[in-house]
Amino acid sequence: VERPGTYEYPIGVPFQTLLDGCGGMYRGRELKAFIPGGASAPMMKAADREIRMDFDTLAKAGSMLGSAAVIVMDETTCMVSATLRLAEFFAHESCGQCTPCREGTNWMKILLRRIASGQGAESDLDLLARVVPNVGGISLCALGDAAQGPVRSLVDKWSDEIRENLILRLQNNQNSFDGIIGYDETVIPDVERALLSRHNILFLGLRGQAKTRMARQMTELLDEYIPVVSGSEINDDPLHPVSRYAK
């Protein structure tokens, strides 16, 4: 917004009134989403801009007023990256005492990071949808409920953007590497040329036996040992899912 700060309004004021009171969207950009009640509140779409900011109305709409710490996002925001930022916070804050919160917050972070970094698959969206209900409502404290709010709204309201993110990230990666080998071990064109010229190859999610089989195949192809390294093994950083091939 143009004038971020602390504002006092009567309960039940429409969100749009609050937005106007803050000077409107930053540099006249378009509203894309907003969080009405702090990081744990499920996100709302721009179409909900006239919703009244009170506990009952927001609860019926699937969100909550919570701390009334409003977060506003414009059309330049990647909803996957924004949700990942929140998921990383909650995963860090989990004390680890109960399994649903400890494992659930970590898995939400892992899946979103995988999608955001270009290593995601369509199945990750389905897995994310299955993880979320198993975090809220069954943890020892309210952190589990808080952690699943933003992710649940991402899956429910921006699933199309998740799929677009998967496609665009993959296309961008293809432009950066000579060849790509996918989850199903399908070789995308130019990988053999890249291997023979010792260029970079991007691997998507190869683990365990699949990685071993791929290493054996490439060793046979080049008649020399070829180390196959998945992204998770490089400093556990999915932003660097590249194996370098050299003699």
pLDDT digit string, tens, across residues 197-232: 434 444 444 445 555 565 555 555 544 444 444 434
The C-alpha torsion from 190 through 191 and 196 to 197, rounded to 10°, is 70
Condensed to tens digits (0 to 9), the pLDDT of residues 83-127 reads 999 999 999 999 999 999 999 999 999 999 888 877 777 788 888
Fill in the amino acid letter for 203.
Answer: F
What was the pLDDT predicted at 66?
A: 93
Question: Residue 203: which H helix or E strand, with range?
Answer: strand 201-203
Nearest to 81 by CA among 129, 118, 123, 50: 118
Judge if pTM exceeds 0.75. Answer: no
Gap between the Cα atoms of 144 and 149, Å rounded: 9
Q: Rounded CA gap, 227 and 242, in Å? A: 11
- Alpha helices per DSSP H over 117-238: 122-131, 143-157, 159-176, 191-196, 208-222
pLDDT in tens, 140-171: 999 999 999 999 999 999 988 888 877 665 55
Beta-strand pair 179-181/242-243: unpaired
CB-count exposure of residue 65 (10 Å: 0-12, 13-18, 19+): buried
The predicted structure's pLDDT at residue 229: 41
